[in-house]
Homo-oligomer: A and B are copies of this chain.
Amino acid sequence: MSTKHNLEENLKFEPQFDENGLIPAIAQDARSGQVLMVAYMNREALDVTIQSGYATYFSRSRQKLWKKGEESGHRQKVEQILVDCDQDCLILKVAVDAGQCHVGYQSCFYRALKQSPELPEKSVSSATGKELEFIAKKVYDPREAYKK
């Protein structure tokens, strides 16, 4: 077991998988810096990613390895893997084509919270009932990419 200080300051890679054996991984476009998606890896997915050079995750809904782009073709070529201070989160710097999100957008983050106009002094703002707005346009038709 590593101490907190060791995890932060040393140069040994010790990914801290959570109680489900998973670690979150952020896929970030190595060119533009755009965050494309966040997914999870178990140890095997991380090993396969390192070995193959292409992002492989663990699908929590399907409970199995998920080679990103295997079906859609929208793979992620991994250029660099970063780890954070306490080694419980990864960034994959990836080279990608157009359309990384299965909904049809380049990034999964295609909506933002709508900014409220200045609020009257006594109104209370909270996440409940907030609206979103689209901040991107679709770059491909997922019905084409995922047809069997």
A-side interface residues toward B, CB under 8 Å? Answer: 8-13, 15, 24, 26, 28, 32-35, 37-38, 43, 46-47, 50-51, 80-86, 89, 91, 101-103, 105, 108-115, 124-135
How many angstroms from the CA of A134 to the CA of B11 in the assembled complex?
A: 8
| Contact A38 B89, beta carbon cutoff 8 Å | yes
Q: Which residues of B contact A129 (CB under 8 A)?
A: 13
The complex is assembled from copies of this chain, and their number is: 2
How many angstroms from the CA of A135 to the CA of B108 in the assembled complex?
A: 27
How many angstroms from the CA of A2 to the CA of B35 in the assembled complex?
A: 25
Smallest CB–CB gap between A84 and chain B, Å?
4
How many angstroms from the CA of A102 to the CA of B115 in the assembled complex?
A: 30
Determine which of B32, B85, B108 lies in contact with A108 in the assembled complex, contact meaning CB atoms within 8 Å: B85
| Contact B103 A11, beta carbon cutoff 8 Å | no
Q: A81-B113, A83-B132, A108-B85 are in contact. Are A9 and B127 (CB under 8 A)?
A: no
A38 to B, closest residue via Cβ:
B89
A33 to B, closest residue via Cβ:
B33
A133 to B, closest residue via Cβ:
B11
How many angstroms from the CA of A130 to the CA of B111 in the assembled complex?
A: 37
How many angstroms from the CA of A115 to the CA of B113 in the assembled complex?
A: 38
Extra 5 A-B pairs, beta carbons < 8 Å, given A15-B127, A50-B125, A51-B125? A8-B103, A13-B113, A26-B26, A80-B113, A83-B132
